[in-house]
Chain A
Amino acid sequence: MFVSDTMLKINDLCAKVEDKEILRQLNLEVKPGEIHAIMGPNGAGKSTLGNVLSGRPGYEATAGHVEFKGQDLLDMDPEIRAREGLFLAFQYPVEIPGVSNMELLKASVDARRAHAGLEEYSAIEFMKMAREACKTVNLDQSFLKRGVNEGFSGGEKKRNEIMQMMLLEPSLCILDETDSGLDIDALQVVASGVNAMRSADRSFIVVTHYQRLLDYIVPDYVHVLANGRIVKSGDKSLALELEAKGYSWLENEAV
């Protein structure tokens, strides 16, 4: 298999939502095995970035280029992006009553494996894996039978996202404020899930408001996204500085 030396390469990406320009010439490069944290004020465009990368309808890339494992990402349909290994843990996971978690998991993992030319897991094999994943994120097994996120608490929804991520074994994981609203225990569950998945050929983009998460998931780089672009990059110490000083000094810089 062709292994690119970049996981994700974003060049001068511009994107619109409902005719409003949100991303303005954003640049970012993520290499395999790296963890990048993205921080920034509300409304800066962090979720928009995740949405554009995952191909959400309504989030339109108007200029620039995105390369994912050597391929033109923006050219792919959203389900193909997922099958190629891009995963977005949503900031606000939707509830889908009537569709069970297990159905969703099996259908998505089957799709990803078929795309890679791999054999499907048998129902029994997969059930075992799913139960194991439940344990890791500290969700009761009964969650597998329940409707997707239906009636889950905020923390349970976030852990459910991590469970999906574990079973899908993506190459690039984008976590959009997965830590927001979690207590320390739940945060540790999420972080250990992520850390257990760290590997040389997998990368993470972790969007967060809180430096706290980065004590558990230690990033290689920290970026500040403001006004639709990366305005500052540094190492993990930047997160501490941001927590102390806020973003206003950087926002001014960016305009």
Chain B
Amino acid sequence: MSDARSAILAKMRSAMGRKADDVERKAAVADRLQRSPRGPLPARGQLPESERTALFQKMAEAVQASVVRVASRADVPDAVSAYLKSKNLPATVRMGEDARLAEMPWSAQKHMEILKGRAENADLATVSHALGGVAETGTLMLVSGPDNPTTLNFLPEHHIVVLEEADIAGDYESVWARIRERFGKGVMPRTVNMITGPSRSADIEQTLLLGAHGPRALHIVIVDKG
């Protein structure tokens, strides 16, 4: 296949009237990849933390996610349990190995069953911990791995996502900066999911319907900074 590669690159260079060893162009590319300059950011998300959280909630609700806020990590299991009850769901959730989730007092929830690992087709509800949120559009950002397997985001009917208030940024770019810090510049985990509301389709006569292939419902539990 290296033949096709050289042929395509050669065709492009001749169409552009450029040579491969064009020093200036190489420098321009290296510079942009190194610096990753930011473009204009919408003023909407550039807010102090408390207002940012409120905007995140408003934007997420506008795309049919449900949002609750709790005072501390210890309150998350209660919130999850209340959500399951309100939807008449069995008291069973599946989650990954995320240490923040593991430390929560799940055992205080009587009759609640916690399944671990990647999602199964029959799972009705799963719990993930988000890496961050973006207030601008009410978007969650999740990364793959044993802590929060990606299938948890897509297979269940109900996806419950825990998000720390401190992790809500104004814009996507700030979350990318965090991901670069964590994984290294130019390195990504297998999957990063930006999720903005529950799954939907408008493919039948342009009528909006929720729950196409992914979760029918997205429930976000925000842990306040306190």
Whether both chains belong to one complex is answered with no
Where the two chains meet, the residues of B that have a C-beta atom closer than 8 Å to any C-beta of A are none
